Structure 1
Amino acid sequence: MIRLAEERDIQSILKVTKSCAKFMISNGVFQWNDDYPNKSAFQNDIKRNELYVLELDDGIKGCIVISTLMDSEYIPIEWLTKNENNIYIHRLAVHPQLQGKGYAQQLMHFAEQFAIDNNYSSIRLDTFSKNKRNQKFYELRGYKRLGDIYFPKQSEFPFHCYEQVL
């Protein structure tokens, strides 16, 4: 089940994202670290009603942020649509023990259906340039790579920006 996250979910969400960070780092992908994603980011997501969790029988196993807020880092990108009716995907995570079972696909389908149901013009996101698995995941879903941005607190390497027009 995918549902809106609540404050009481934060510790479980952090367990998932910390496990993902550790898993990525062990595979040479330095996308997430001890500083990101963090509790305050998830608290802000909850306040904005933009954080959703994947809940299975034994607890929270994934999350996704579906936001209407365009981060300032995205301003230089030449997007395919106007900057007025878009959603942004952030912090998509599935516990490493459950990866490869279609749960990330479910979370993305949920976000895409949310965008369609609410008449957004596109979905935008970024993924780490060294995370080839994520790039393939989004490209197979029809997202177009448009340019690069940087998050110096996370990595010296760029993050690729993607958009899918609805």
Structure 2
Amino acid sequence: MEIINATIEDINTLMALYDSAIAHQKAVSDLVWKGFDKAMVLKEIEENRQWKIIIEGNVACVFMTAFNDPAIWDERNKDAAIYIHRISTNPDFRGRGFVKRITNWAIDYAKANRIDFVRLDTWQDNPKLHQLYLNAGYTYIGRKTMLPAADLPVHYWGTTLGLFEIRVVE
């Protein structure tokens, strides 16, 4: 297994995995992403913020990182942090513990780059994901109700998020 940056050639795979994640969300919950703009994802690839997990030559999972997230994290955005977003697993690879693997990768990345926190968010009303994040080592630090904002995907608008973080210790 390796975690590497996605490339422009991966765009169709990323979009398909996001669509697959949305289909899965619809099957198990009322909490569903609204889809993602291809141009936005291409920009994230160009900025080296889209990642893929490769297992035996297959894209098993994708995720996105950011280094600031003021619309969600408010004053905490001043901290040096890596934010993990949009973990989307290939259905053929579900159940392999990618959240924990991504978390460990992010902690190593943070240590190597003098970053103090690894953070992520999810819907407040998703206890299954909350438990998954707690099991991966995150601490629940509170909730945030989101207002519509141009710099956020539509699925955030009007939702209440649960916020999670890990303090990275050298």
Does 2:152 correspond to 1:148?
A: no
Q: What is the aligned partner in structure 2 of residue 68 from structure 1? A: 67
The structure with the greater share of residues assigned to helix is: 2
> Which residues in structure 2 correspond to 1:1-166 (within 5 Å)?
1-33=2-34, 35=35, 37-75=36-74, 79=76, 83-146=78-141, 147-150=143-146, 153-154=154-155, 156-166=158-168
Counterpart contact for 2:99–2:133, Cα < 8 Å = no
Tell me the amino acid that sits aligned with residue 119 of structure 2.
R
In percent, how many aligned pairs have the same letter? 19
Give, in whole Å, the separation in 1 of the partners of 2:31 and 2:24.
10
- Shift of the alpha carbon at 1:151? 6.0
Q: Give a deviation string over 1:62-116, Cα, whole Å, max 9, x none.
A: 112222122323216xx4xx71411111111112332212233222221221112
* Alpha carbons 1:16, 1:61 under 8 Å: kept: no
Distance 1:42 1:105, change over 3 A: same
The residue identity in structure 2 corresponding to 1:73 is I
CA contact (8 A) 2:32 2:155 kept: yes
RMSD (Å), alpha carbons = 2.1
In the alignment of these two chains, the number of paired residues is: 160
Contact 2:123–2:160 under 8 Å retained in 1 = yes
Q: 1:29 to 1:132 in 2, by over 3 A?
A: farther
TM-score by length of 2: 0.82
Instruction: Report the residue type matching 1:57 in the other structure.
Output: E
Residues 17, 95 of structure 1: 8 Å contact kept: no
In structure 2, how many angstroms separate the alpha carbons of the residues matched to 1:115 and 1:29?
Answer: 34
Structure 2: runs of 5+ lacking an equivalent: 149-153
Larger RCO, structures 1/2 (Cα 8 Å, 6+ apart): 1
Letter in 1 for 2:161: F
TM-score when scaled to structure 1? 0.84
Taking structure 1 as reference, are residues 59 and 46 closer, same or farther at Cα in structure 2, changes over 3 Å only?
Answer: same
Counterpart Cα distance in 2 of 1:2 and 1:95: 14
- The SS at the match of 2:96 is coil
